[in-house]
Amino acid sequence: MSPIWLLLLPLVAAAGVRYGTRPLGVIGVFWLLSSLIAMTLQEALIGIHASWLDWPIALADVGLLLFFAYVGRNEGDVRVFGLAIVQMLLFVLIELFGAHAEGATFLIDDASRMMLFIVNVVGGAIVYYAHAYMRFEQGDAKRFLIYLLLFIAVMNAIAMSNHLMHFFFFFELTTLFSYLLIRYRLDETAKANALRALWMNQIGGIALLIAALVASSSFDTLYLDALTQHAGGAAVMIAVFVALGAMIKGAAMPFQSWLLGAMVAPTPVSAILHSATMVKLAPFMVLKIAALLHVSFAGALISLFSMAVFVYASFLALSKTSLKEILGLSTIALLALMVSLAATGEERAREIVLMLILFHALSKALLFLVAGVLEKHFHLKDIEDMAGLIYQAPRSVALLVFGFLSLSVPPFGLLLGKLFALIFLAQMMQEQSWALALLLLAALGSTLLALLYFRLLSHLLSRSGERAAMAHETIGWGFGVPIAALSLLSVVLSLGYFYDAFGLGALLATLALLVVSALTLRSFAKVERVKEYACGERAPFVGALAYYTLSEAYTAKFIQGFGLFFGLIALAGVLS
Amino acid sequence: MSILLALLAPVLGALVYGFERIVRARMQRRKGPPLLQPFYDMAKLLDKRLVMVHALHVSLGVVHFILLWVAVAMLFLGGHLLLILFVHLFALLALVMAGYSVRSPYSHVGANRELLALLAYEPVLILVATGFYLTTGSFYVEEILTQSPKLGPLWMCFLALLLVIPIKLKKSPFDALEAHQEIVGGVEIEYSGAFYEVLYMAKMVEYLFVYGLVWLFAGDSWLLGLVLVSLVFLLVNAVDNATARVRIDHLLRIVALGGLGLATLNLIGVSL
């Protein structure tokens, strides 16, 4: 099947949802079809020439930038307005310079295939889930679903784009969808957070435009595959600015607030935009231009910066109580890890990053979907309230536990990815000794994340409050189908990855270990039970989570430090 | 041979533990218990009435023991050092979850301290493993043991490991994790009878894990391995007898800064 179908199918599905009578059926068929196409994209490198698209896209771009300016004026936000004007100026400059080289409009390499896989398979699951979710929400559910489907079309387009200006256009479209979906609930915080997401991501757009300007003026081409063939200062500068745009999309540290603010949106939005698909643009974009960053000073700075973000975001998550916020910060952390590895420009890192993208998308989407169920069925958002929830809602909590385990234990793919990342960094150290800093930070960050996940898990299992079991705990097909699909995929793909890495013996041994662990639980069911020993004290026990945090002054200083570092990377890019 | 060692790990660990109790007692001019005391303890513990707080709690304890055993077995069979460290990490995390799953303040405090200590020493262990990789070109224990001793180039990593050992073996000055007089054994408090025996065995297996790591520094030299392990064994027990417990936040600072600093300096030296 031609990958172009991936652009058309979501549009058809959106029309079906708008005018049809059975939206769930339409979404289901769309999910199945597009997943099949995405999974069967065989050829490693497909190029499609469609240069007639250049003009319509440029026109649409102008429209989009005008819309941003309008939003800025209408909402009274100077930043949005000003940035839109700057973008327009840069845009005009690029069009004036013009790039004359010809190339493939759409190009599908290994990174694109991975993106298409997660956008369609994981994204489709989330849209399916959103249908059930929206029955709990006020407002126009159909419009919401149509936004999500259009968003999938845009993501498919950006995953295939090979032209820097098309890339910019679709990048800005994802920003637009972010804006529209975050402000969906239309209350004060939603509007304010949507505007913040808008202006921060506009800065990312400007970084992309600067890259395009340099590309068209120095190399007379805007095609990414042609650009990565070049070398030298200008090429590195292009790569650095694309990476800067990527890091803002990935909410790296001075820009973390837009992603955390996005958590006010309905849960499917958090799942599809802010964990599973859109933010994956960060490692994806860096992978696209990684060859240019190989063994360069600027590339090293990007790697170091991102690894520092990995550690700091993991640490910051230890002080939060809202489940979505914790998931958001751990997303920022893992994205930064991926960006850091990708920016080394090494071929081995590329495979690891692709696997991290895949398994992170599966696990995080799953976790957000379960978080949505908890929110809708039990009105729980805060982890403090979830203590011992397992005795009340065993199924939902089991899913949540599964989600966290899939992020952190063997044989799941994400942990293997982290393990291979450590091994890769140790190998890299043999040639480039500065990689020691990366390794040190990676080890620290991984430990912090393990601490975070297991602290949460422990809390879910802890019996610190009395709870009666619920009479009926039903999850329902609308929620159940996508959650089951994602869990199954996560298990099957992880086992495949594990088998690939360590062979059948290790796989069987691990599985046997899991089965034995599960069996021990059963075998103890009949043992006599006693109350805990309190050393003769009679004070009631109130369980509490421990939080780890820096004082506010330090937090602000750290964020400023990251801001400075970010500026330094831009400077290094300009000077290279 | 190594398969036998791996299978008998708990028994071996018990012997090491029994021997250690004698050595520690002699340092205090006591006679100490017989060598087989851990086995007598086992007989006594197995004889007790079987009670538990809840099934998940004891299962996690069992998982803790099995995973530790697996980690030690992988170490003896020449496995991948980083993988071994990861399995070991999960063993500890299972214990932490167990600690949090009961309604006991001692257990919670203990679990929390386990986590903090983990944060301090896990990066150190990863760096030590990397040190072996940089000097021998392999993460595989099998390969490391066929090469010349790496104590020379990795002496600072060795010192970093020395900082970690008292935590792993719950020895002063870094025994705030179980701190008997203060938090009544921490995570162990709610285990009794046969279930406590499982945890007890896990502790002994941990001895083999720790001294196995020490052995790695000797490479292919059996003699140096024996000398190193004996010296560390004596040193750890002497320090245990001679020092007072430090607070958990101090432990975190000393081990994280000291251990990481030493290991980092060493790796910089090796990779230059």
What is the per-residue pLDDT for A465?
46
What is the per-residue pLDDT for B178?
73
| Separation between Cα atoms, residue A199 and residue A320, nearest integer Å | 25
Q: From the CB of residue A138, how many other CB atoms can be counted at a distance below 10 Å?
A: 8
| Separation between Cα atoms, residue A179 and residue B19, nearest integer Å | 68
Written as one letter, the residue type at B35 is L
Q: What is the DSSP letter of A48?
A: E
Interchain contact, B50 vs A528, CB within 8 Å: yes
| Tokens found for residue A513 | 């270990």
In the stretch 135-154 of chain B, residues with CB closer than 8 A to chain A read 139
Of B51, B118, B123, the CB nearest to A529: B51
Interchain contact, A543 vs B62, CB within 8 Å: no
Of B63, B97, B106, the CB nearest to A457: B97
Per-residue pLDDT of chain A (576 residues; tens, 9 = 90+): 677 888 889 999 999 988 988 888 888 989 999 998 888 876 656 677 777 888 888 899 999 999 999 999 998 888 999 999 999 999 999 888 777 778 888 888 889 999 999 999 999 999 999 988 888 877 788 888 999 999 999 999 999 888 899 999 999 999 999 898 888 888 889 999 999 999 999 999 999 999 999 998 888 888 888 888 888 888 899 999 999 999 998 888 888 888 888 888 888 888 888 777 889 999 999 999 998 988 888 899 999 999 999 999 999 888 888 888 888 899 999 999 999 999 998 889 999 999 999 999 999 999 988 888 888 877 777 877 777 677 777 788 888 888 888 888 877 888 889 989 999 998 888 888 888 889 999 999 998 888 888 888 887 777 644 455 555 567 778 888 888 888 999 989 988 888 888 888 888 888 888 888 778 777 777 777 777 777 767 666 666 667 777 788 888 888 888 888 988 888 988 887
Identify the residue among A440, A446, A460 best suited for mutation to test binding to B, counting B beta carbons within 10 A and taking the highest: A440
Nearest chain B residue to A465 by CA distance is: B103
Rg, chain B, Cα only: 18
Distances (CA, A) of A450 to A135, A360, A444, B61, B170: 35, 15, 10, 19, 22
Provide the number of CB pairs (under 8 Å) joining chain A to chain B: 143
| Separation between Cα atoms, residue B11 and residue B14, nearest integer Å | 5
Of A422, A455, A462, the CB nearest to B101: A462
The structural domain count of chain A equals: 1
Of B49, B70, B264, the CB nearest to A440: B264
Q: Is residue A504 part of a domain?
A: no
* Residue B115 at interface with chain A, using a CB cutoff of 8 Å: yes
User: Domain boundaries in chain B?
Assistant: 2-266
Nearest chain A residue to B64 by CA distance is: A517
Interchain contact, B103 vs A410, CB within 8 Å: no
Distances (CA, A) of A103 to A99, A106, A162, B28, B238: 11, 9, 8, 82, 73
Of A450, A464, A527, the CB nearest to B50: A527
Q: How many residues does chain B have?
A: 272
Beta bridge partners of A48: A106
A485 Cα to chain B: minimum distance (Å)? 27
A363, A406 Cβ separation under 8 angstroms: yes
Of B66, B90, B100, the CB nearest to A409: B90
Q: Which residues of A touch B133 (CB under 8 A)?
A: 426-427
In the stretch 211-270 of chain B, residues with CB closer than 8 A to chain A read 260, 264, 267-268
Interchain contact, A461 vs B97, CB within 8 Å: yes
Of B56, B63, B86, the CB nearest to A461: B56
Q: How many residues does chain A have?
A: 576
Identify the residue among B104, B107, B118 best suited for mutation to test binding to A, counting A beta carbons within 10 A and taking the highest: B104
| In the block, residue with structure tokens 């590309």 | A215
Of A430, A450, A464, the CB nearest to B89: A450
Q: Which residues of A touch B271 (CB under 8 A)?
A: 429-430, 433, 436
Half-sphere exposure of B20 (CA within 13 A, CB side): 26
Nearest chain A residue to B98 by CA distance is: A458
| Separation between Cα atoms, residue B6 and residue B1, nearest integer Å | 9
What is the per-residue pLDDT for A87?
92
Interchain contact, B67 vs A513, CB within 8 Å: yes
Written as one letter, the residue type at B127 is L
B40 Cα to chain A: minimum distance (Å)? 24
* Residue B271 at interface with chain A, using a CB cutoff of 8 Å: yes
Phi and psi at residue A108, in whole multiples of 5°?
A: -115, 110
Q: Is residue A543 part of a domain?
A: no
B59, B113, B115, B89: which is closest to B247 by C-alpha?
B113
What is the per-residue pLDDT for A186?
85
What is the per-residue pLDDT for A266?
84
Q: Which residues of B touch A455 (CB under 8 A)?
A: 115
pLDDT (average), residues B250-267: 88
A343, A302 Cβ separation under 8 angstroms: yes
Q: Is residue A483 part of a domain?
A: no
Cis peptide leading into residue B173 (ω within 30°): yes
| Tokens found for residue A499 | 């088998």
Interchain contact, A520 vs B111, CB within 8 Å: no
Percentage helix, strand, coil for chain B under 3-state DSSP, each rounded to 5: 75, 0, 25
Of A436, A521, A532, the CB nearest to B268: A436
Distances (CA, A) of A357 to A273, A284, A338: 14, 8, 8
Nearest chain A residue to B126 by CA distance is: A443
Interchain contact, B100 vs A461, CB within 8 Å: yes
Q: Which residues of B touch A535 (CB under 8 A)?
A: 106, 184
Q: At how many degrees (to 10) do helices A233-249 and A281-293 cross?
A: 160
A520 Cα to chain B: minimum distance (Å)? 6
Q: Which residues of B touch A543 (CB under 8 A)?
A: 100, 103, 108
Of B96, B103, B119, the CB nearest to A458: B96
Nearest chain B residue to A409 by CA distance is: B90
What is the b/e burial string over A515-525, where b = at least 16 CB atoms within 10 angstroms of the residue's CB?
Answer: eebeebeeebe
Nearest chain B residue to A444 by CA distance is: B123
Interchain contact, A517 vs B63, CB within 8 Å: yes
A560 Cα to chain B: minimum distance (Å)? 24
Q: Is residue A113 part of a domain?
A: yes
| Tokens found for residue A253 | 């540290």
Q: Is residue A547 part of a domain?
A: no
Domain containing residue A232: 5-472+552-575
What is the per-residue pLDDT for A307?
94
pTM of this structure: 0.90
> Which residue blocks in A231-296 are alpha helix, DSSP H?
233-249, 256-261, 267-271, 281-293
- Read out DSSP for B11-41? HHHHHHHHHHHHHHHHHTT-----TTHHHHH
Interchain contact, B271 vs A525, CB within 8 Å: no
Measured in whole angstroms, how far is the alpha carbon of residue A275 from the centre of its chain? 3
Residue A345: helix, strand or coil by DSSP?
coil
* Residue B65 at interface with chain A, using a CB cutoff of 8 Å: no
* Residue B119 at interface with chain A, using a CB cutoff of 8 Å: yes
A459 Cα to chain B: minimum distance (Å)? 7
Nearest chain B residue to A458 by CA distance is: B97
Q: Is residue A507 part of a domain?
A: no
Q: From the CB of residue B154, how many other CB atoms can be counted at a distance below 10 Å?
A: 25
| Separation between Cα atoms, residue B199 and residue B185, nearest integer Å | 12
Q: Is residue A448 part of a domain?
A: yes
Q: Is residue A134 part of a domain?
A: yes
